[in-house]
Structure 1
Amino acid sequence: MNSIDIISKIKNDLINKDINAIQKYKLQLIKDCNIRDTQDKELIKCYNYHVKLMRKIKKYLKESTGYDIIINAKEHQESDLITLISKINPNEINIGISVDIRLLTGSSNESYMDCTYYSNQSTIYINDFRSSMSNRGYGKIILDNLDEILEDLNKTLEKYDLNKIMIIKGKMIANKHIISEENLKKMYIKYGFEVDNSNNILKVLNEIM
């Protein structure tokens, strides 16, 4: 199987959320130091990107035994895929159940949202939300897809007879090295959140979820 076919298969398995297929991948990176053809270099770059992405996802899956996993792959920057991956253990015996939401790429760019789900309040609380690098737009991607992610999480919760997530809460905390408080507030408001004078954030989700 050539590089183009492998890239196509990786994308297909991610888009189809085929966790069994993802776990079977054993791919090596290709060195392009002796390759001069521009097209070949770009193909190898694309191939290596998706191999690195697949390795990250496999590691995440390995570290998440016992969790329900949700995968959403998205096209990003020409032909590259990014992956929004979430995990929850509905059997966790706690007042609040931890929810991990991550954006993984085949580069060093990543974002994550650490949350706690409270079934009795139908609420998910954002404890921490940050990106590995500033001004790359990856945090915005999570917010842009958050309703879809929570819709998928709600399908998982329903299987365990737990209440759907209908409310998002949290505290807006700006890391000055990443984003200013003013710009962070604008970003939250853009994605349907209310932000009060104490920087508490709130979003009530649509009933159709």
Structure 2
Amino acid sequence: MFTTLLTPDRIARETAAGHWRDRTITDFLDENASTAPDKTAFVDSRGRISYAELKQLVDRVALGFLELGVGPGDVVSFQIPNWIEWVVVHYAASRIGAISNPLIPNYREREVGFMVSLARSKLVVVPRAFRRVRPRRDGRTPPRRLARAGARAGDRRALVGRVHHDTVGGRPRPGGPPRPAARPQRRDAADLHLGHHR
């Protein structure tokens, strides 16, 4: 569905160098929720969240995604400011193997519609304040039902499995719109662990 920047040579090279480990972003979340549950995981302008609280929210939203029919390889687009909810949605998508497609908050209907269509998003998540600019949804479940769906879903065993790609980023192509490119979640986890970005 998407063009990947990964080649077998690059995977072997980065793995051999120790940059990419056999761990995902959610592996780090689970570890921190277990070893330092009360430690602050993220802070935004409205508050802070501990690792234990973050893991609980991520699991609920991930279960909500599954209940709404989102699965591995499906694209979850979200237009959320720099809020804790951004992290929750991204980690929840990663947890189930879905692909995150973050959209910057100042995009409007035309840009959002284009990116959602290009990415073939299965679900779009937006704050209530942004809903007036959401793209057509083709009768799919409204995002506001996501949290309720996760609250009803009870089988946490559904949250098993690893993912290999999780983020869609625009790469320019001559004479055309940005081309989505999948990025490996394990690479993202390595970037966070090493404290740098590639």
Q: TM-score, normalised by structure 2?
A: 0.26
Give the helix-richer structure, 1 or 2.
2
Q: TM-score, normalised by structure 1?
A: 0.25
